[in-house]
Amino acid sequence: MFTQTRLRMLPEPLRVLLLGSGGREHALAWKLCQSPLVELIVVCPGNVATEELTKTKNCKYESLEQALSVSKSRNINLAVFTNEADLAAGAVDLFSQEGIPCIGPPKKASLLETSKVFAKRFMSKNNIPTATYGHFSCYEESLLFIEDQFAQGRRKVVLKHPGIGARQGVFVIETLEEAKQTLPDFDILIEEFLEGREFTIMALTDGRNFTMFPPYLDVKTRKENNQGPMTGGMGCVCPTIRCTESMFQALAQGFMARIIAGLGKEGLDFPGFIAIDVILTHDGPIAIEYDLRLGDPETQALMPLIQPDLDLAKVLAQCHSDQISLSSSLFQKDRFAAVVVAVTKKYPLEPETQPLHVNLTTPTQKDTIIYHSHTFHSSVQPSQPVVQARGGRVLGVCGIGNNLDVAAQRAYSGMEAVKFEGMEYRTDIGTETDNVL
């Protein structure tokens, strides 16, 4: 059985590794830099903003093995993994075998996120409500299942790619003819379509104990009013009023506690993050799917809401050494964050073929943060660097306030400091329409 390297005591100073170049890594590095325990944060490959933080060093890498080599040369003593593909490739297993403590699940445990079929079976075993589903690898069998769903009176079904990146491979089918045109002749997960309020709950766990994060709403569809294709995330509000305090407490004990206990029973417990996408239906809450890591753009909303005097690096190290404290909340009360993500015009359907020039100014509003995603410096004259981006999700602006309206207003005001060709963003993040069905 796989066992992670566990910290017996808090190492000082901490030398942390982050893999990625998005706004999530920028936000996490920004928060970890505030810790007096942290001496160095290596971000591979990082972006313009992580390059400019104190205590950070950007490093290029092309493989996990190369990232491991960088970690050894930099004496890394804590690796925090935030990328689904890295977890699926066994990043935690690889680094742990070399004695580097990790925040994140080993490859086998990561199946809870990377395999929708594994997740469904896990939920069934641990009495966690989930949507009725079928898993098929044959076109004819898939079509028969959908015909049966419609015959039972269901108006829609959901097609999901069962593996990595499934959120961007989700299709809602409303007619049998549409199903015939959309169904692939390969592995597919088909679920009943659920109606209700969607939101996410998250916890930080040491493998047995856990502390909850505030519930949040991760806005996935490309266009306003939840129209358009699914994306990696167009915005986030935290906390979301979709989840009441009583519901939050019930989900913490009814969903999160069962998941952590279930992982422990199978020897899959780990120090790290667990997020559950939930839909609140007329029949009660239903679990949709999981992340076993910090997400993007929700990390950009969560980090500014952490208690100002709380040392996140210390909490992560304590979590890894089975010393997680449950005595107090990690987060400020009565504070809200709204993140709005600026994307290129063709995102997510077509990649940009040429780098984009990004013009940035300082936001005039207080409590406003601009997070970079995949930006880099490029200039003929190194003394006058130009910020460029490779397209897709380019930048995210976070507004913080004492209520959601103020937070959203600050985020949109901050967006005025961002300019690039073909720039688009949703205009309804944090609105009543977006937050309550």
The secondary structure of 39-50 as a DSSP string is EEEEEEE--HHH
How confident is the model at residue 3, as a pLDDT?
58
Residue 329 above 90 pLDDT?
Answer: no
Helix (H) or strand (E) holding 387: strand 386-389
How confident is the model at residue 325, as a pLDDT?
67
Q: Give, as one character, the DSSP assignment of residue 311.
A: -
**What is the total count of domains within the chain?**
2
Q: What angle do CA 85, 90, 92 make, to 5 degrees?
A: 105
Q: How far is CA 242 from the centre of its chain?
A: 19
How confident is the model at residue 6, as a pLDDT?
62
How confident is the model at residue 4, as a pLDDT?
63
Phi and psi at residue 421, to the nearest 5°: -65, 130
Of 9-18, 165-174, 207-216, the range with the lowest mean pLDDT is 165-174
The per-residue pLDDT of the chain, averaged, comes to 91
As to burial, measured by CB atoms within 10 angstroms (0-12 exposed, 13-18 middle, 19+ buried), residue 213 is: buried
Q: Is there a domain that residue 410 lies in? A: no
How confident is the model at residue 161, as a pLDDT?
84
Residue 260 above 50 pLDDT?
Answer: yes
Please tell me which residue, 163 or 408, carries the higher pLDDT value.
408
Q: Is there a domain that residue 31 lies in? A: yes
Residue 34 above 60 pLDDT?
Answer: yes
Q: Which long-range contacts (CB under 8 A, 24 or more apart) does 182-186 make?
A: 183/139, 183/142, 183/143, 183/146, 183/159, 184/139, 185/138, 185/139, 186/137
How confident is the model at residue 302, as a pLDDT?
98
**% the chain with pLDDT above 70:** 92
Query: Quick check: helix, strand or coil at residue 214?
Result: strand
The residue among 72, 89, 106 that closes a domain is: 106
Phi and psi at residue 276, to the nearest 5°: -120, 120
pTM: predicted TM-score of the whole model, two decimal places? 0.93
Q: Are residues 164 and 88 in contact, defined by beta-carbon separation less than 8 angstroms?
A: yes
How confident is the model at residue 83, as a pLDDT?
96
Same domain? For 100 and 177 the reply is no
Of 160-169, 256-265, 318-327, the range with the lowest mean pLDDT is 160-169
Mean predicted confidence (pLDDT) in 245-259: 96
Amino acid at 69: S
Q: Is there a domain that residue 80 lies in? A: yes
Q: Smallest Cα–Cα separation from 74: which of 14, 12, 11?
A: 14
Please tell me which residue, 386 or 266, carries the higher pLDDT value.
266
Residue 388 above 50 pLDDT?
Answer: yes
Helix (H) or strand (E) holding 56: strand 56-58
Q: Smallest Cα–Cα separation from 409: which of 305, 337, 334, 304?
A: 337
Q: Smallest Cα–Cα separation from 298: which of 209, 429, 208?
A: 429
Mean predicted confidence (pLDDT) in 196-212: 95
Mean predicted confidence (pLDDT) in 300-324: 90
Q: Is there a domain that residue 240 lies in? A: no
Q: Is there a domain that residue 351 lies in? A: no
Q: Is there a domain that residue 396 lies in? A: no
How confident is the model at residue 187, as a pLDDT?
87
Please tell me which residue, 368 or 328, carries the higher pLDDT value.
368
The residue among 192, 226, 242 that closes a domain is: 192
Q: Are residues 383 and 332 in contact, defined by beta-carbon separation less than 8 angstroms?
A: no
Question: Residues 93-110: pLDDT tens digits?
Answer: 999 999 999 999 999 999
Residue 212 above 80 pLDDT?
Answer: yes
How confident is the model at residue 335, as a pLDDT?
96
Q: What angle do CA 183, 184, 186 make, to 5 degrees?
A: 135
Q: Are residues 188 and 159 in contact, defined by beta-carbon separation less than 8 angstroms?
A: yes
Residue 432 above 80 pLDDT?
Answer: no
Confidence of residue 374 (pLDDT cuts 50, 70, 90): confident
Residue 322 above 80 pLDDT?
Answer: no
Same domain? For 21 and 96 the reply is yes
How confident is the model at residue 328, as a pLDDT?
63
Phi and psi at residue 305, to the nearest 5°: -90, -5
How confident is the model at residue 431, as a pLDDT?
86
Confidence of residue 166 (pLDDT cuts 50, 70, 90): very low
How confident is the model at residue 433, as a pLDDT?
46
Confidence of residue 154 (pLDDT cuts 50, 70, 90): confident
CATH of the domain at 18: 3.40.50.20
Mean predicted confidence (pLDDT) in 120-130: 96
Same domain? For 101 and 137 the reply is no
Q: Is there a domain that residue 259 lies in? A: no
Residue-number span of the structural domain to which 57 is assigned: 14-106
The residue among 192, 223, 238 that closes a domain is: 192
Residue 120 above 60 pLDDT?
Answer: yes
> Please, where are the H alpha helices in 37-189?
48-52, 64-73, 84-88, 91-97, 111-114, 116-125, 139-151, 176-182
CA-to-CA distance for 146 and 130, rounded, in angstroms? 18
CATH of the domain at 178: 3.30.1490
Residue 17 above 90 pLDDT?
Answer: yes
Q: In the numeric block, which tokens belong to residue 150?
A: 């419609």
Tally the residues of the chain.
437
